[in-house]
Amino acid sequence: MWRSSRVGTTRAKDALLTMAALKEKMQQVRERERERERESLLTSVQEYQS
């Protein structure tokens, strides 16, 4: 009984860690996409000016 509840808490902790890791990953992906958009905007502006 005591053992199974302990397993439950570690499983919950693992889930929380996974969620945090996923959130972080999503944020990194979003930032990368924003960078790419900024770069392509700069390129199109430069092309427009030339």
What ranges do the domains of the chain cover? 24-50
Say if pTM beats, i.e. exceeds, 0.75: no
Distance between CA 23 and CA 8 in Å, rounded? 22
Mean pLDDT value across the chain = 90
Report the Cα 14 to chain-centroid distance in Å. Answer: 17
- The amino acid present at 4, given as its one-letter code, is S
Task: Specify the pLDDT at position 19.
Answer: 96
Query: Is the pLDDT higher at 35 or at 12?
Result: 35
Distance between CA 8 and CA 20 in Å, rounded? 18
